[in-house]
């Protein structure tokens, strides 16, 4: 593969406008490279040791935090841990969602990494919430260190101000799983191709559990134009809902902080969002640099990817600088005595080290990306990205400290909760790392479908074009069930479908390919209206349902789920309702999408379900006794020889 995909970006030159896919990348080569990692990959002792370590960390962390010490769980570390994981998940999800919606080409190789980071960090955030670390805030009290975990604390995950975290987890899971669907089909096809006859037989029966699971997950995926269109529409809908959930959940977190931490300023929601994007970018960049180096993915995650990630981190870092300077400047010029004392404490008091650690770990290192040599170094990007995320986490801890006289957790209280809260933080870190390790081991680390699309768009030889269609004289009248024809491009397939326009209504035509085919889908008809209706309907149902549930509580109707929570006014409920709407909208999209993805269609021969299709294939299912020559003549008679099929095959009756 390294020989096949040999061309790389020049590390010494200017990377502006450089390619985001190697010139030699082909559809087949990409499938082989990425599937090889998932099927054979990293299951060595190193991976097992890392998994065991992460699992042990998770178990020991929770044991020490919950059962061991019996100390209070809520505190600045616990709250900062929740905000930290929440921010990482939000930033990663927002990154991949915005890039997908904007149609940025470089998203192809980075999106899967960002989706995996979002899912892993959302799991860790929910583990924080479930562990009771945020119970005080979610229960409506100040974040003082006190109170043990109770059933009410655990229920608080579903209470108004916990729905943001849950929605983030659900939407991250939806984005990640929908993105994986076509790639799982590629893995299945590769697993079958690579298997010996004996093993091949076992795949359907008693083969490896992971292979059997993959087979069942994508049993009906054929890579048809309709499936691709639904997949694109569903991915974009979930991306849009992801943006909504990130904004709503972050604003919700800001309201919680504004209610509990004094003098936070109105810039806080933007500051939290920028911090989340910066930390998410740092984590994604570090992971991408590691994958590129560790798995030899230089041709898919190019130097230009690292360059763009570094530039984006620089832009987000400048945004973080603006937010911090704006908040400090406003306080200095217009703040009252209380706000000035909070600022003085933040800059020179007990918690001042957190602010200066943020400056030294985040605001200053990111400026190194002005240097081209730093932007081109995977090691530097990995280190700085990790540093950025850590700096943001420390800053969140400093924000949670707050002044002791104003309701924030005092240093003494923070100290008393230091050991259990730190143990719990390490436990949640173990969960996040474990999820990422499992993803790296069993699933494609880079989106095969999207990188293939990029390769086809930029590399003329990405799809095999060998072979020639038979001459018309060679066509005989032999009855058959279907005719299939292979093409070297989507354009040729679309032309073929157009050539069959006006055919016998009983002939069912379909097109399959390794990448989305909008032109073919347009010719074949159909639409994505059901997905839109599902998304909008699901969102409206979830949003208004949540609002009704909470409003009912406000007017005195008791609901077990929210019983015991303080009364809520509508501004408090708006953002949680929006997050709930995005969550249910995403679930509705997945529910509407899955049947379309997995539907089996009789009569398709060359587009076998769950096989990895390396070129563009047209299949025409014929009625009983129909003459296949009409179809074959239309296909090979195209005036442009480049649009004719490279092979035609009949499936006997």
Partner 1 sequence: MTRAPRTARAFFLDPRRRPAIGLTIGLTALAAALLVGGAPALAVSYLPAWLCLVALPAGALPVAIMFERADAWRPQPETALLETLRGLLALMPVAAVLALPILFALPVLYPWARGAAQPNALAAIWFTTPALVLRLAFAFAAWTGLALLFARRGGEPWGKAGRMDDGRAVLGLGLHAVLGSLVAGDLVMAVSERFPSSLAGLLLMASWSSLALAAAILVAPPDVGPARRRLDRLTPLAVLLAIWAALHFVQFLVAWTADLPGAAMWYRARDTGEGRALSVLAGAVVVLALLLTLKPGENRTRLVAALALVVHGLELAWFVTPSIRGSFKLTLTDLLALAVVAGLALALLPQARRLFPGPAAGRPPGSSAQGPAAGPAAPRHGSR
**Binding residue (CB under 8 A) for partner 1 from 92, 134, 279, 331:** 331
**Binding residue (CB under 8 A) for partner 1 from 575, 581, 607, 617:** 575
- How near is the Cβ of 338 to partner 1 at its closest, in Å? 11
Residues from 332 through 351 that contact partner 1 (CB under 8 A):
332-336, 339-340
- How near is the Cβ of 406 to partner 1 at its closest, in Å? 12
- In the complex with partner 1, the residue whose CB is nearer, 275 or 444, is 275
- How near is the Cβ of 345 to partner 1 at its closest, in Å? 16
- How near is the Cβ of 391 to partner 1 at its closest, in Å? 20
Q: Is 544 in the site for partner 1 (CB under 8 A)?
A: no
- How near is the Cβ of 509 to partner 1 at its closest, in Å? 22
User: What track of x and - describes contact with partner 1 for positions 12 through 51 (by CB under 8 A)?
Assistant: ----xx----------------------------------
Other residues' Cβ atoms within 10 Å of the Cβ of residue 219: 14
Return the exposure string of 500-525: e unless at least 16 CB atoms fall within 10 Å of the residue's CB, then b: beeeeeebbbbbbbbbbbebbbebbe
Return the exposure string of 540-566: e unless at least 16 CB atoms fall within 10 Å of the residue's CB, then b: eebbeebbebbeebbeeeeeeebeebe
Nearest to 364 by CA among 426, 333, 321, 326: 321
- How near is the Cβ of 554 to partner 1 at its closest, in Å? 16
- How near is the Cβ of 8 to partner 1 at its closest, in Å? 21
- In the complex with partner 1, the residue whose CB is nearer, 104 or 199, is 104
- In the complex with partner 1, the residue whose CB is nearer, 375 or 644, is 375
- In the complex with partner 1, the residue whose CB is nearer, 152 or 258, is 258
What sign results for the dihedral spanned by CA atoms 202, 205, 210, 215?
positive
Give the number of residues in contact with partner 1, rule: CB under 8 A. 43
Q: Is 585 in the site for partner 1 (CB under 8 A)?
A: no
**Binding residue (CB under 8 A) for partner 1 from 265, 402, 420, 542:** 265
Q: Is 364 in the site for partner 1 (CB under 8 A)?
A: no
- In the complex with partner 1, the residue whose CB is nearer, 336 or 624, is 336
Burial of 87 (0-12, 13-18, 19+ CB in 10 A): buried
Residues from 78 through 137 that contact partner 1 (CB under 8 A):
102-105
Phi, psi of 483 (to 5 degrees): -120, 135
- In the complex with partner 1, the residue whose CB is nearer, 4 or 330, is 330
- How near is the Cβ of 336 to partner 1 at its closest, in Å? 6
- Which pair of structure tokens corresponds to residue 268? 């806080």
Answer for the pair 619, 507: CB distance below 8 angstroms, yes or no.
no
User: What track of x and - describes contact with partner 1 for positions 486 through 525 (by CB under 8 A)?
Assistant: ----------------------------------------
User: What track of x and - describes contact with partner 1 for positions 271 through 310 (by CB under 8 A)?
Assistant: ----------------------------------------
Residues from 230 through 259 that contact partner 1 (CB under 8 A):
247, 251, 254-255, 258-259
- How near is the Cβ of 420 to partner 1 at its closest, in Å? 29
- How near is the Cβ of 252 to partner 1 at its closest, in Å? 9
Phi, psi of 325 (to 5 degrees): -65, -40
- In the complex with partner 1, the residue whose CB is nearer, 172 or 250, is 250
Nearest to 275 by CA among 169, 175, 397, 372: 397
Cα 520 to its chain centre, rounded Å, is 27
What sign results for the dihedral spanned by CA atoms 495, 498, 504, 505?
positive
Let me know the angle formed at the C-alpha of 297 by 292 and 301, rounded to the nearest 5 degrees: 70
- In the complex with partner 1, the residue whose CB is nearer, 102 or 379, is 102
- In the complex with partner 1, the residue whose CB is nearer, 318 or 549, is 318
**Nearest-angstrom CA–CA distance, 231 and 309:** 26
Residues from 311 through 330 that contact partner 1 (CB under 8 A):
311, 314-315, 318, 322, 326-327, 329-330
- In the complex with partner 1, the residue whose CB is nearer, 195 or 267, is 267
- How near is the Cβ of 49 to partner 1 at its closest, in Å? 41
**Nearest-angstrom CA–CA distance, 643 and 647:** 12
Which stretches within 360-500 are classed as H helix? 372-375, 378-401, 411-416, 418-442, 448-458, 490-499
**Nearest-angstrom CA–CA distance, 198 and 180:** 28
- In the complex with partner 1, the residue whose CB is nearer, 568 or 636, is 568
- How near is the Cβ of 281 to partner 1 at its closest, in Å? 14
**Nearest-angstrom CA–CA distance, 59 and 134:** 19
- How near is the Cβ of 310 to partner 1 at its closest, in Å? 10
Q: Is 143 in the site for partner 1 (CB under 8 A)?
A: no
CA dist 28 → 189, 228, 618 (Å): 12, 18, 19
**Nearest-angstrom CA–CA distance, 105 and 427:** 36
The continuous run of DSSP H or E covering 507 comes out as: none
Answer for the pair 391, 283: CB distance below 8 angstroms, yes or no.
no
- How near is the Cβ of 159 to partner 1 at its closest, in Å? 16
- How near is the Cβ of 381 to partner 1 at its closest, in Å? 16
Q: Is 268 in the site for partner 1 (CB under 8 A)?
A: yes
Phi, psi of 619 (to 5 degrees): -125, 140
- In the complex with partner 1, the residue whose CB is nearer, 330 or 416, is 330
- In the complex with partner 1, the residue whose CB is nearer, 353 or 370, is 370
- How near is the Cβ of 499 to partner 1 at its closest, in Å? 20
Q: Is 587 in the site for partner 1 (CB under 8 A)?
A: no
Nearest to 374 by CA among 311, 319, 467: 311
Answer for the pair 633, 475: CB distance below 8 angstroms, yes or no.
yes
**Nearest-angstrom CA–CA distance, 12 and 23:** 18
**Binding residue (CB under 8 A) for partner 1 from 123, 270, 368, 586:** 270
- In the complex with partner 1, the residue whose CB is nearer, 311 or 649, is 311
Answer for the pair 478, 629: CB distance below 8 angstroms, yes or no.
no
**Nearest-angstrom CA–CA distance, 250 and 269:** 6
Answer for the pair 253, 70: CB distance below 8 angstroms, yes or no.
no
**Nearest-angstrom CA–CA distance, 306 and 312:** 10
Q: Which residues bind partner 1 (CB under 8 A)?
A: 16-17, 102-105, 247, 251, 254-255, 258-259, 262, 264-270, 311, 314-315, 318, 322, 326-327, 329-336, 339-340, 370, 532, 571-572, 574-575
């Amino acid at each position: 593969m390294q020989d096949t995909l040999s061309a790389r970006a020049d590390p010494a030159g200017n990377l502006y406008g450089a390619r985001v896919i190697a010139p030699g990348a082909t559809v087949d080569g990409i499938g082989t490279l990425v599937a090889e990692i998932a099927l054979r990959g990293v299951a060595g002792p190193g991976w097992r040791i890392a998994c065991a370590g992460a699992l042990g960390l998770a178990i020991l962390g929770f044991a020490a935090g919950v059962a061991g010490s019996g100390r209070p769980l809520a505190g600045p570390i616990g709250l900062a841990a929740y905000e930290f994981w929440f921010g990482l998940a939000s930033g990663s999800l927002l990154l991949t969602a915005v890039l997908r919606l904007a149609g940025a080409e470089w998203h192809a190789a980075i999106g899967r990494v960002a989706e995996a980071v979002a899912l892993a960090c959302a799991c860790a955030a929910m583990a924080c919430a479930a562990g009771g670390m945020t119970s005080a805030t979610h229960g409506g009290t100040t974040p003082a260190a006190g109170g043990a975990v109770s059933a009410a604390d655990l229920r608080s995950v579903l209470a108004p101000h916990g729905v943001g975290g849950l929605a983030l987890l659900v939407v991250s899971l939806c984005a990640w799983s929908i993105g994986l669907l076509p790639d799982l089909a590629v893995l299945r096809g590769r697993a079958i191709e690579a298997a010996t006859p004996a093993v091949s037989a076992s795949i359907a029966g008693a083969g490896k559990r992971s292979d059997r699971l993959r087979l069942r997950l994508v049993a009906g995926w054929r890579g048809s134009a309709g499936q691709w269109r639904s997949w694109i529409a569903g991915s974009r809908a979930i991306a849009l809902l992801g943006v909504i959930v990130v904004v709503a959940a972050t604003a919700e977190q800001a309201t919680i902080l504004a209610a509990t931490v004094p003098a936070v300023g109105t810039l806080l929601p933007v500051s939290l969002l920028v911090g989340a994007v910066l930390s998410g970018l740092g984590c994604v960049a570090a992971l991408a640099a590691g994958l590129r180096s560790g798995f030899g993915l230089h041709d898919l995650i190019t130097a230009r990817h690292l360059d763009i990630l570094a530039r984006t981190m620089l832009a987000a870092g400048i945004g973080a600088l603006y937010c911090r300077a704006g908040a400090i400047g406003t306080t200095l010029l217009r703040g009252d005595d209380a706000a000035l004392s909070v600022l003085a404490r933040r800059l020179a008091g007990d918690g001042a080290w957190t602010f200066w650690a943020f400056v030294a770990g985040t605001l200053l290192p990111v400026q190194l990306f002005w240097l081209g040599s730093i932007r081109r170094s995977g090691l530097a990007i990995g280190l700085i990205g990790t540093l950025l995320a850590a700096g943001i986490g420390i800053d969140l801890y400093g924000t949670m400290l707050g002044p002791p006289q104003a309701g924030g957790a005092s240093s003494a209280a923070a100290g008393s909760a230091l050991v259990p809260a730190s143990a719990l933080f390490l436990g949640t870190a173990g969960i996040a790392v474990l999820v990422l390790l499992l993803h790296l081991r069993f699933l494609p680390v880079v989106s095969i479908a999207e990188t293939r699309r990029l390769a086809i768009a930029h590399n003329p030889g990405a799809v095999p074009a060998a072979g020639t269609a038979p001459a018309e004289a060679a066509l005989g009248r032999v009855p058959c069930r279907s005719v299939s024809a292979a093409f070297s491009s989507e354009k040729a397939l679309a032309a073929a479908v157009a050539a069959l326009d006006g055919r016998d209504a009983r002939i069912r035509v379909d097109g399959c390919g390794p990448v989305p085919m909008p032109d073919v889908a347009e010719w074949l008809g159909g639409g994505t209206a059901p997905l839109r209706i599902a998304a909008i309907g699901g969102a409206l149902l979830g949003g208004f349902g949540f609002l009704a549930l909470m409003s009912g509580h406000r007017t005195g109707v008791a609901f077990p789920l929210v019983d015991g929570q303080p009364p809520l006014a509508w501004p408090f409920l708006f953002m949680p309702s929006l997050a709930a709407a995005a969550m249910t909208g995403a679930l509705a999209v997945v529910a509407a999408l899955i049947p379309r993805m997995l539907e089996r269609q009789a009569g398709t021969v060359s587009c076998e379900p769950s096989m990895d299709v390396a070129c563009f294939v047209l299949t025409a299912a014929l009625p009983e006794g129909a003459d296949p020559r009409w179809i074959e003549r239309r296909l090979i008679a195209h005036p442009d020889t480049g649009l004719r099929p490279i092979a035609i095959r009949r499936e006997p009756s």
